Structure 1
Amino acid sequence: MLRIGYIRLRDEGSAEDAASLKAMGCHVVRAEEPPGPEADDSGVLFSILDFIGSGDQLVVGRLDHLAHSSRSVLDVMDRLEARGASLYVVDPELCSEGDGGRTLRAVLEAVSTLEPAADARRRRTAAAPQQIRALQRAGVGPVEIARRLGVSRMTVWRKLRALEA
């Protein structure tokens, strides 16, 4: 059985998590910078899910290392099951195998019904005018600034206008 550890680098304690995953017997530990607070399409995690084989185990420090929604965690669990692999979470100690796995799945499915739909518009935190100005000075256009900061183009235009006044 191959144990593969996975860490998102922006999470607090990620350096300690890497060491603890190695100490727990993970043969490989992969880390990545997550793409954003609402994006769950992480390249390293998906490459692990494509690689992992039957009888192998994906190990994470916390359940929120996998994704930002319970629906996305369920998707990861589905992909692992399809490959004959399992999920092990260190804190709290959870495993997707056996009775505990069925309970974990039931809880995640219940929670996912309470979460807003993935395509629902979510209000983002306001981008700081300094961030917008810095990107503009670096030669980035307003549309790209909006995309990078996760705000509307109108927000970028308003903040640029306010900075010029």
Structure 2
Amino acid sequence: MLQIGYVRLRDEGSTQETAALKAMGCHVVRAEEPGLSGGDETAVLDSILDFIGSGDELVVTRLGQLGGSCRAVLEVLRRLELRGATLFVLEQELSTAGNGARALRAALEAVAELEPAGLARRRRPAEADQILALQRAGVGPVEIARRLGVSRMTVWRKLKAAVEA
């Protein structure tokens, strides 16, 4: 099992969070630096979620590291589940491995119902024809993802689907 730490660098406390993740035993710690991702405030997190493997664990110090709303955190949980990975939150000692997963999800869903709509960050859908046109023009998958504002995994999936069709 690979443990991947994730932290958003926002203040001087972030270095302590990074140190805590390393002390916890995270094999890799990735940091999100606001403003350096070309306007995408979660580029590093998206990259982790695109490539985390089955049985791996994403480790954060606080749930707030995953997003500004419960809907955003639920989306991270959904993506982790799709990949067969789990989440561990250091400060609250919460984990989506085992029995705690359903309780955590239920609590987040209850709070999300109270949140005003539209707070969750939504990616715009990428059209397969846009992706294929850029690929035919010689643009690589990483650049296609950047230009269209989607994850690299989305680009790869659409390209694979086009080949299989």
| TM-score grouping bracket, smaller chain normalisation | 0.5 to 0.7
Percentage identity across aligned positions? 65
Report whether the alignment pairs 1:112 with 2:115. no
Distance 1:60 1:52 in 2: 14
In structure 1, the residue matched to 2:161 is: none
In structure 2, the residue matched to 1:64 is: 64
In angstroms, what is the RMSD of aligned CA positions? 1.9
Q: Give the length in aligned residue pairs.
A: 117
Classify 1:81/1:42 alpha carbon distance in 2 versus 1 (closer, same or farther; 3 Å): same
Residue identity in the other structure for 2:47: S
1:54-97, Cα deviation, whole Å (9 max, x unpaired) = 00000001000000000010000000000000000001110012
1:1-165 aligned within 5 A: 1-11=1-11, 13-34=13-34, 42-118=42-118
Q: Alignment partner of 1:98: what SS?
A: coil
Structure with the greater alpha carbon radius of gyration? 1
Classify 1:12/1:106 alpha carbon distance in 2 versus 1 (closer, same or farther; 3 Å): farther
In structure 2, the residue matched to 1:138 is: none
Residue identity in the other structure for 2:86: S
Q: TM-score, normalised by structure 2?
A: 0.67
Distance 1:13 1:4 in 2: 19
Classify 1:56/1:119 alpha carbon distance in 2 versus 1 (closer, same or farther; 3 Å): closer
Structure 1 segments of 4 or more deviating over 4 A?
none
Q: Alignment partner of 2:5: what SS?
A: strand
Distance 1:20 1:89 in 2: 11
1:10-39, Cα deviation, whole Å (9 max, x unpaired) = 05511011111011110000001236xxx9
CA contact (8 A) 1:4 1:26 kept: yes
